[in-house]
Amino acid sequence: MAKYPLRIEDLDQKEMARLVGDMFHRILAHYAFWFNEVRHQLGTEKAMTILSAASRRSVGVQIDRIGKLLGFEVKDGLPAALWGLPRKDLLDIMRSLGLNWLANDGVWFQAVEFNHGMNDAKRCNDSCWAQLSPFEAAEIRQFLDLSDRPGLAGLKQALNYRIYSRVNTQSIVDEGPDSFVFRMNVCRVQATRLRKGLDDYPCKSAGLVEYTYFAGSIDPRITTECVSCPPDAHPEEWFCAWRFTLRETK
């Protein structure tokens, strides 16, 4: 005998609510599959342009429909209540979103690690950064209305708008007009490991992908150099540091 009824209408209330959550998950996955396939078929640059148009329409349609169902007002594509929240509350929400992003990243890493080992988890993680970094850079560029080549000033600003900037502590040290060093003073992942008496997580391979792709997506003239990143030794004041240099093209 089947565990669940043939028709959705015959589910009990709790299972029906669980199915609603599952359908949200399917929509998110379908959204990601669409972007991934458009990028595969048409290339990253065209995919990002299409994503910009599709995301505005998709998010707007979905929030508007859910708002009507659940009885909350929608204004300019977002729940109206969001527009009226104090700045402190909005910052708290962004911090929570940053923590959710970090948790999601960790859950995926561990899901691969526990089933296929650390090497496969690190390999998937590094490859994921090769996709996420240019995507996040493009989203930030659009939000800030940065030019195609905003230089080091644009990169400094963009680094402060990353999701994890809300949960980590970072700083910038200027070296001159053509370079600066970005330091991750408090990395939530590494700080947690430190409190538990664990060694640093060796994230250099991922960082080389992440920061190179991010900086180059903000401005293709910017090169990235790792000053130090675990498993490298580092001072107590920071966990990793990266030098960004503007190379003017002839």
Question: Has residue 155 got a pLDDT over 60?
Answer: yes
Residue 250 predicted with pLDDT over 50? no
For 222-247, what is each residue's pLDDT tens digit? 999 999 999 999 999 999 999 999 99
In tens, the pLDDT along 10-19 reads 999 999 999 9
The pair of three-digit structure tokens given for residue 39, joined into one six-digit string:
């990028």
Q: What is the mean pLDDT of residues 187-216?
A: 95
Residue 246: its H or E element? strand 240-246
Do the beta carbons of residue 224 and residue 215 sit within 8 Å? Answer: yes
Same domain, 33 and 77: yes
Pair (71, 91) in one structural domain: no
Q: Nearest to residue 63, comparing CAs of 84, 80, 85, 83?
A: 80
Q: Same structural domain for residues 145 and 180?
A: yes
pLDDT (mean) for 29-36? 93
CA distance 141 to 158: 7
Is 72 in the same domain as 149? no
Supply the pLDDT for residue 59.
Answer: 87
pLDDT above 50 (res 211) = yes
- Chain segment 70-92, per-residue pLDDT in tens: 999 999 888 999 999 999 999 99
Amino acid 249: pLDDT: 65
Residues 39 and 96 in one domain: no
The owner of tokens 């594509």 is 77
Angle between helices 87-116 and 188-195 (to 10 degrees): 70
Measured CA to CA, the distance from residue 211 to residue 176 in angstroms comes to 20
Read off the amino acid at residue 30.
H
What pairing do the DSSP bridges indicate for beta strands 240-246 and 179-186? antiparallel
Quick one: average pLDDT of 124-144? Answer: 94
Residue in 212, 209, 215, 206 with CA at minimum distance from that of residue 187 = 206
Average pLDDT of the chain is 93
Q: Once rounded to an integer, what is the mean pLDDT over residues 50-68?
A: 90
Same domain, yes or no: 135 and 230: yes
Res. 38 pLDDT band, cuts 50 70 90: very high
Of the chain, the percentage scoring pLDDT greater than 70 comes to 99
134 and 237 both lie in a single domain: yes
Domain's final residue, options 84, 117, 133: 84
pLDDT higher than 70, residue 124? yes
* Structural domain harbouring 7: 1-84
CATH of the domain at 207: 3.30.1380
Percent of the chain with pLDDT over 90: 89
3-class DSSP state for residue 226?
strand
Q: Is the pTM of this model over 0.85?
A: yes
